[in-house]
Amino acid sequence: MTGSTTRPPLADITVVDFSELLPGPFFTQALAEMGARVIKIERPPHGDNARRLGAGGFSAVNRGKESLLVDMKDEAQRAQVRQLVASADIVVESYRPGVMARLGMDFASLQATCPRLIYVSLSGYGQAGPWAKLPGHDINYLAAAGVLAVSGEAGGQPALGVGLPVADLCGAMYALSSTLAALFQRESTGQGQHLDVALADCALHWMNPRLGTYRESGAATLEAQREVTLVKPAYGAFACLDGRYLSIAALEDHFWQRLCQAIDLAPFNGEVYQSFKQRKPHAQAINQRIAEAVKDRDADALFELLSRHDVPVAPVVEPARLAALPQFATRDKFEAGDHMPLVRFPVPLAGMSEGVLGPVPALGSARI
C-alpha cells in the first residue's frame, strides 16, 4: 500500500509532546509512524522518567522523535517553546491538571494566538472531578472503571491484569482516534480544540459491552456478573501433552458441533447440549472435559485437527516466538531486528514508511 510518490498521511503535521512514560508516548509514536514530526520536550536533568525506569520500553515508544531538553520553569526557555508551539498542529501533555496552567502553557493560554491548535491532555481521571488530581497507574484506572471487579476467575479475587497495561494503551488509542477526528474537523471549521482524555474514562467506555450484557441478563450482583463474564463453555486455554497451551473458543452452536466432531466430548456431545443456553450452566464441567480430552495430544497436531474442522483455535504464543509465527511473518508485522523486534503500526496506510523509524533521540539532541 506504500509508494515512493505518496506522502505519509501526517507528513505536514508537527507535534509538540510534553508527555512521559507510556500512554502519551505510545500515542505520539503512532503519530510519528503516520509521518508526523514529533518533538519531545523533556525535563532536565534526566528527561522522560521512562529513560531510567525501563530503557527497552522507552525505546519502543519514542523512535523517530526529536528531543529537546527544556527547563519549563525558566522564562526564556519557556518563551522558546511557546514559539515552537505557535507553528505546531498538536500539543500533547500528560501532567496532572493545573500544571500546564501554572506554566502558562495550557489550552486557554494558547488558544488566542494558536486558534488551530489541537491540545491533547492525557491524564488518569481527566481535567475535572473529585479524583482529577489523584495519582494513579494502570491498575488503579482499571479498578475505578469496573474492569478489575469482573476479572480473574469466578469466585476468586480480581486479577491484576492480562499482561498488558490495558487502560494506558486504551487511552492512547482514544487519544489517537479523537486527535485524527479533530484534525479532520479542523479542515472545515478552521478551529482547534482541547481534548480531555482520561484513562479511566476510556477503560469505562470499554465496559459498555459488559454493561449491556448485565442489563439484558439481569445480572445485578457482582457474583452474577463475574459468572456471566468469566465462565463460558468451550472457552479457555487448555494444556497439551508437550506443555504448550491452545486457546479454544467454540461458543457458537455451529462451532461447538464442529468441536464435538473433532474430539470426543461425551457425554456433552448429545442433543441436550446443542444450544449455548443449554451448555452455559455446565460450562465448568464442559471445560474440564475438554481439558481431559486434549491433555494427551500434541499441541501442533491438535491445532491442525481443530483448524481442519473450522473450530476457533490458536496457540498461546510466547513473546519470544511472535516474530517467527507464520501468520505475522507473512503479513510483515515486525521491523527488522536480531532479537525481539518491535511491531509496525498494524494498519498499513499509503505513504507510511516500510522501514524502521529513526532511532530513539539522544536526550536534548534537537535544537529549537
Q: What does pLDDT average to in each consecutive run of 10 residues of the chain (368 residues)?
A: 72 97 97 97 95 93 96 95 97 97 96 97 98 97 96 86 94 98 98 98 98 96 93 97 98 98 96 96 97 97 98 97 95 85 92 76 86
Nearest of 130, 135, 140 to residue 94 by alpha carbon: 135
pLDDT number for residue 154? 81
CB of 18 closer than 8 Å to CB of 95: yes
| Residue 4 confidence (pLDDT) | 54
347 φψ region: left (φ > 0), alpha (ψ -120 to 50), beta (else): beta
Q: Determine the pLDDT at residue 3.
A: 45
**What is the DSSP annotation of 38-104?**
EEEEE-TTT-STHHHH-HHHHHHT-TT-EEEE--TTSHHHHHHHHHHHHT-SEEEE-SPTTHHHHTT
Question: How many helices (H) and strands (E) would you count in the chain?
Answer: 16, 9
Q: How far apart are CA 72 and CA 168, in angstroms?
A: 25
Residue of 331, 360, 359, 326 lying closest to 343 (CA atoms) = 331
Q: What is the DSSP string of 126-173?
A: -SSSTTTT----HHHHHHHTTTGGG-SSTTSPPP--SSS-HHHHHHHH
Residue 349: strand, helix, or coil: coil
**pLDDT value, residue 49:** 94
Q: Which residues pair with 93 in a beta bridge?
A: 121
Cα–Cα distance, 256 to 237 (Å, whole number): 16
Helix, strand, or coil here: 182? Answer: helix
Assessment of whether the complete model's pTM goes beyond 0.85: yes
Q: What pLDDT is stored for residue 354 in this prediction?
A: 59
